[in-house]
Chains A and B, each alone.
Chain A
């Protein structure tokens, strides 16, 4: 399943870039994120609670960042297991392009799901995934829009 989209973020590229690697920012931006631990410079372990159609599950997953071109692009790949609900795995290519005072973030992802999620939720997965992705970037842009002083201390 292919997912793609783009989002304009009103912040300079290096701020956005840093945010993408910031555990606290990510934890706040990922919908349903219950915990997020950074296990190395480029690896995170997450627990996320999601609902797709009739299936709701806590996903325990790992995210790895690779193909890193600082300030410009990287690949996020991950695999999440939701126990009886199934699993999701996929990879997203994220590219940042300066645009005016801000930056345009573009993502191209390829995602696969399995188990109960696939059997019962296949009609809903694409729209749900798109909705979750949109929510992530909306959250991210809201976090970036908050003045520095109101940020995490």
Chain B
């Protein structure tokens, strides 16, 4: 009986936002609350000689100024390594820089004042004397023996390295008819959530309880972090994540500032608020990507892909992020290479290097855009080398839809994917033959259009193999408590969280269907460790697949409880009853037997009238962890149509297509908007977004005037279609969808730009593809053509 799963249900909580009634941490004001401002290192590397806070301490409104000596001892340092990344190193980190500063923006002092403005005034008066040292900001040479170190506490600049290979990879290359190769550079970019990171830490010395209002996607993880690092009983720590103004993976890492707010509140016994301003976001939020990848692909004469070999150098910060590390991104890059293809052989090498910049770490579609762009750019070259068109070479190499289960050359296990069906659907939507005719006609008029496509695989529904086995205290399971209220309405408290993607709405839909009620009768609570069961919350696309399954199973348990109780009330075998239309009905005829509100009334107010021994508890709790495959992979394909102005280097994005298979779709309205948002978040770094640094390790574009984000006027309409291949690992069959758009949008766009530039022989392998880089590529191609 499925009534609401699959329907485009609107989000009830969107009404609050539309009315300006969001409840964000940045809106919160508590009695006696102090405002925190951090004094940051202006140098990318150096040694602190002196911090003069005397003038600042006399400023109006200032209550306290902390430096490392007063604040850090309150907090156990953190170390961003995982046990299953063998040989990984990362020096410990604490709230304020103690001796060395490690990036421009590293907090060195914390000012608490009655207002943010007063704290900022005081921060202006702090004089920090830092003996600066040459920062490590470069590429490959940082790994050479004897290279200056980014972090003196590490024994080299190598944080982690690993190698994956199949036994026959060299033979595959030796026997290939063609070997295509290219070197790629993927720029550093960042999340730019519209609401910056925000925290209000509120320690009550009278009760010993710490409540942290925290704009995060993973409240349970922070409950554990705060308890362990500040030596508090876990039960005394409550983390509340109300409305969160965007997260995208950026708001699940441990940051110096949030830890500082908690430490200061513990010391002062007052609420401490820290809300980053935009510049602080740029120099303290995690950045993403920053890879140099050299890739090769071995191809048979008929276009069959035989093998890939990639070497990824990714540069992180001066320490690895905690608790998920900064190595997971690169690890996924080398494991996702070639994933959609039958390709039997592979070698992937990963080097993760320290440098004196803001740390990089997990951000939406971790590793996917890099693996996808490299693979798909090489597939394009292979198509050119073998005279295939882009659709033909993919049809030849994508894993056949009836060839599952399949294990990739990198060891990923695919339960069942639908690459070929997606490719066929995309062909119908794009009509590439018509696009080629149009392209040829426009070229004669000096208009250069191109289209590109990119297949992808997305990792969703991760189990404990992601972090748990590496010793990280990051939950692989989620939990739900579902109960029937005396009125017959339903309440579900669940550990998956809401940042606007519609978690609460889909959970209501799933629960409603198990209990035969309308979703409007199901209220959902998320984001508070005191009122919801512990779980992974929101990361790596688990809300629908794992959270939905948790809610489904909890809902079915409550259904059984209700039916058992109803059986006793109406003197029928519960097996002959079911729930529908807000009532218990006869399973065969559908005739109403007793309404839910009547059951609720009796169970709550008149349990004395029940037969002796009948259980009238109408609350169930259930926890669910993924079983079967370690991840549920999803798949899809994207297409991009662009027009490049070869005079100015400007690219106009004309159209974007996505065919996606996320298994069972719970709510198509929300799924499509997840995909569209993801696509735009993939197109941003493909064309605009880049954290620019000078040789001194200074970020030089730390504002929304200089760091370009994708805006409405630059973005295309995005057409979406679906193939549905539910996972058999769960009853619900849903997989994740949050990162699919981001995974392949940039890859499709890069292929499209290069298709447009083909008449000039120009080719881009670096993102963002800025107008300057496009003009440089055109110049380089011109020089090559005219060279003697």
Contact = CB atoms under 8 A, between A and B. Distances in A.
Nearest to A119: B702
Nearest to A125: B700
Contacts of A89: 132
Interface centre among A84, A117, A120 (most CB of B within 10 A): A84
B123 interface: yes
Given A116-B42, A119-B700, A123-B706, A84 B124 contact: yes
B615 to A, nearest CB: 63
A84 B700 contact: no
Q: Chain A interface residue count: which class?
A: 20 to 34
A87 B40 CA distance: 11
Given A81-B42, A84-B124, A119 B279 contact: yes
Interface in A98-118: 112-118
Nearest to A60: B127
Nearest to A85: B124
A57 interface: yes
A119 B127 contact: no
A87 B123 CA distance: 14
A122 interface: yes
Interface string B44-80: 1000000000000000000000000000000000000
Contact of B699 (A60, A82, A87, A118): A118
Interface in B18-63: 39-44
Contact of B129 (A81, A115, A117): A81
B635 to A, nearest CB: 40
Interface centre among A85, A86, A115 (most CB of B within 10 A): A115
Contacts of A119: 104, 279, 282-283, 698-703
A114 B43 contact: yes
B100 to A, nearest CB: 16
B702 A81 contact: no
A83 interface: yes
A120 B279 contact: yes
A47 to B, nearest CB: 10
B703 to A, nearest CB: 6
A130 B43 CA distance: 23
A118 B120 CA distance: 18
A110 B54 CA distance: 33
A81 B127 contact: yes
B183 interface: no
A42 B706 CA distance: 40
B126 interface: yes
Contacts of A112: 694, 696
A122 B124 contact: no
B701 A81 contact: no
Contacts of B126: 83-84
A60 to B, nearest CB: 6
Given A120-B702, A120-B703, A115 B40 contact: yes
B127 A118 contact: no
B250 to A, nearest CB: 18
Contact of B698 (A60, A85, A114): A114
A83 B130 CA distance: 10
B128 interface: yes
A70 B74 CA distance: 57
Contacts of A115: 40-43, 104, 698
A16 B126 CA distance: 37
Contact of B43 (A87, A116, A120, A122): A87
Majority DSSP secondary structure for residues of A touching B = mixed
Contact of A118 (B41, B123, B694): B694
B525 interface: no
A119 B279 CA distance: 8
B44 A114 contact: yes
Interface in A64-89: 81-87, 89
A40 to B, nearest CB: 19
A116 B702 CA distance: 8
B125 interface: yes
Nearest to A56: B124
B124 A113 contact: no
Contacts of B123: 83-84
Contact of A122 (B42, B282, B701): B701
Contacts of B44: 114
Contacts of B701: 119, 122
A81 B128 contact: yes
Contacts of B124: 57-58, 83-85
Contact of B42 (A58, A60, A114, A123): A114
Interface in B142-159: none
A118 B44 CA distance: 12
A112 B104 CA distance: 14
A123 B700 CA distance: 9
Interface in B699-730: 699-703, 706
A87 B696 CA distance: 12
Contacts of B129: 81
Contacts of A113: 698
A120 to B, nearest CB: 6
Contacts of A81: 42, 127-130
A85 to B, nearest CB: 7
Contacts of B127: 60, 81, 83
A114 B104 contact: yes
A84 to B, nearest CB: 5
B42 A86 contact: yes
A123 B692 CA distance: 13
Interface centre among B42, B44, B120, B699 (most CB of A within 10 A): B42
Contacts of A57: 124
Contacts of A87: 42-43, 130
Contact of A84 (B39, B132, B699, B702): B39
Contacts of B279: 116, 119-120
A61 to B, nearest CB: 11
Interface string A120-131: 101100000000
A63 to B, nearest CB: 16
Contact of B40 (A84, A117, A122, A123): A84
Interface in A28-72: 57-58, 60
B125 A83 contact: yes
B567 to A, nearest CB: 68
A3 B125 CA distance: 29
Complex A-B, nearest 7 residue pairs according to Cβ-Cβ distance, in ascending order: A115-B42, A119-B702, A118-B698, A86-B42, A122-B700, A114-B42, A84-B123
Given A116-B702, A119-B702, 7 more contacts: A83-B39, A114-B43, A115-B40, A115-B43, A115-B104, A118-B42, A119-B283
Interface of A: 57-58, 60, 81-87, 89, 112-120, 122-123
19 contacts: A58-B124, A81-B128, A81-B130, A83-B39, A83-B125, A83-B127, A87-B43, A113-B698, A114-B44, A115-B104, A118-B696, A118-B700, A119-B698, A120-B702, A120-B703, A122-B698, A122-B701, A122-B706, A123-B706
